[in-house]
Amino acid sequence: VKGVNKVWKTNFHPEYAGTDSHRPITSHFGRHRFTTYWRVEQNLNRQLVKYLRGDRTGSFTNSSGIDAYLHAYYKDIEATYREQIYKLTPEV
């Protein structure tokens, strides 16, 4: 892991190093970003995402580990939300 983080620091620091108001870009950030990208944006199934992340073989049955790394944003669900939301009044 230290080797992976070194690659991230070499490529993203000092521009994206930590400051008083922001955490640094590290391999841990990448784990969050790419888990979200593969699962939410590319719709890969959990097993493939776990494989791409390098998760331990046999950990495919436990979904809680991957869920902690997924991030959803309003822009990702806005169209579905507006289409599916229960309407209390008729649309004009």
The domain locations on the chain are: 2-84
Nearest-CA neighbor of 70 among 26, 31, 22, 27? 31
How many residues are present in the chain?
Answer: 92
| Secondary element (H or E) of residue 34 | helix 27-36
**pLDDT tens across 23-82, in order?**
998 888 889 999 999 998 899 998 899 899 888 766 555 566 788 888 888 888 888 888
> What does the pLDDT read at residue 1?
54
| Cα Dmax for the chain | 59
Nearest to 72 by CA among 35, 44, 47: 35
Residue 14 banded pLDDT, cuts 50, 70, 90 = very high
Q: Is the pLDDT of residue 84 over 90?
A: no
Answer whether residue 19 shows pLDDT above 90: yes
pTM value? Answer: 0.64
Task: Give the 3-state secondary structure of residue 13.
Answer: coil
